[in-house]
């Protein structure tokens, strides 16, 4: 099966449901719907709650239906218990099994894409040569992707590896992992905020310490043209803004990304299925109406 893009990519919204009492979920769904939202993203925190039985996915799905919303994509849990690029083999079977269960949940709820992280924490504190560690990380991720792809095909769910802002998940490393496979069920998730962090020509002393020291060992290698590199693989994207130095997940227009040129270029990617708002509403005290208005305006640029 091949995956042809829609006439226009659909727009979905992240919302930080795990920060709310379950009884408040439907009220915020109505708020999103009343302000023009039609689609939701399963956030990694919510999917983790589903997987661990803390929140009922069936109950959540019924609420979205009552509000006229649909789920079209998902972000995989990551970190302890869910890592796809572990530094050793002992925990891999357990973590693959956890991802497979989350993939089933996401597909059952309607998701078409499933974003995955290449994680930094398994390697960041290892004193070995950085280039060697990156190769180990990529080889580890490829092993996990090989195990996950048969289920992705069965579920008709596209795995989308995301660019981030460490040596282990630049655009080049994402491409290294996914280009090892020739599968319509594998692509990438372009993260606009993360790409903005890695652009060149900046004062590196302004970077957040966790970017500059923990990840890059005070030797940041900038990466321009991330969108152009990932273009053939992009099936979905995370849209949020920042000042170019820290991962703020702010509203478009509140940072340094030039959205007027970015959105049409994203919409022209040959495989793209959806655009995702990944703005942190609570952290920046942004009302739902403002987020929806901003993203509806961006979508109208397509």
Q: What is the pLDDT of residues 90-111, one digit of tens each?
A: 999 999 999 999 999 999 999 9
Largest separation between any pair of C-alpha atoms in the chain: 53
Phi then psi for residue 187, to 5 deg, are: -155, -150
Residue 299: partners with Cβ closer than 8 Å, 6 or more residues away: 8, 11, 263, 275
What mean pLDDT is predicted for residues 184-189?
A: 98
**Domains annotated on the chain, with CATH:** 10-299 (3.20.20.150)
Q: How confident is the model at residue 6 (pLDDT cuts 50, 70, 90)?
A: low
**Residues 257-290: tens digit of each pLDDT:** 999 999 999 999 999 999 999 999 999 999 999 9
Q: What is the pTM of this model?
A: 0.96
Can you give the pLDDT at residue 181? Answer: 98
Q: So what's the pLDDT on residue 4?
A: 54
């Amino acid at each position: 099966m091949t995956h042809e893009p829609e006439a226009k990519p659909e727009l979905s919204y992240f919302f930080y449901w795990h920060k709310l009492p379950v009884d408040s979920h439907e009220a915020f769904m109505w708020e999103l719907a009343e302000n023009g939202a039609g689609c939701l993203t399963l956030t990694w925190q919510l999917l983790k709650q589903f997987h661990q039985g803390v929140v009922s996915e069936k109950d959540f799905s019924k609420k979205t239906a009552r509000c006229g919303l649909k789920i079209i994509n998902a972000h995989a849990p990551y970190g302890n218990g869910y890592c796809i690029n572990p530094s050793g083999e002992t925990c891999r079977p357990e973590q693959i099994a956890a991802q497979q269960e989350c993939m089933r949940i996401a597909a059952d709820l309607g998701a078409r894409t499933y974003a995955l992280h290449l994680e930094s924490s398994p390697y960041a504190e290892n004193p070995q040569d950085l280039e060697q560690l990156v190769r180990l990380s990529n080889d580890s991720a490829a092993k996990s992707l090989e195990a996950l792809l048969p289920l992705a095909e069965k579920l008709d769910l596209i795995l989308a590896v995301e660019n981030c802002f460490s040596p282990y998940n630049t655009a080049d490393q994402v491409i290294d992992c996914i280009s090892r496979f020739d599968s319509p069920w594998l692509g990438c998730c372009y993260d606009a905020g993360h790409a903005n962090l890695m652009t060149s020509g900046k004062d590196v002393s302004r970077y957040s310490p966790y970017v500059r020291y923990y990840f890059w060992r005070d030797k940041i290698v900038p990466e321009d043209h991330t969108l152009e590199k990932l273009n053939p693989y992009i099936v979905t994207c995370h849209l949020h803004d920042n000042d170019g130095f820290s991962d703020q997940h702010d509203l478009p227009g509140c940072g340094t990304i030039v959205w007027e040129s970015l959105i049409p270029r994203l919409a022209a990617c040959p495989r793209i299925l959806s655009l995702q708002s990944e703005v942190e509403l609570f952290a920046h005290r942004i009302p739902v109406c403002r987020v929806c208005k901003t993203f509806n305006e961006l979508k109208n640029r397509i």
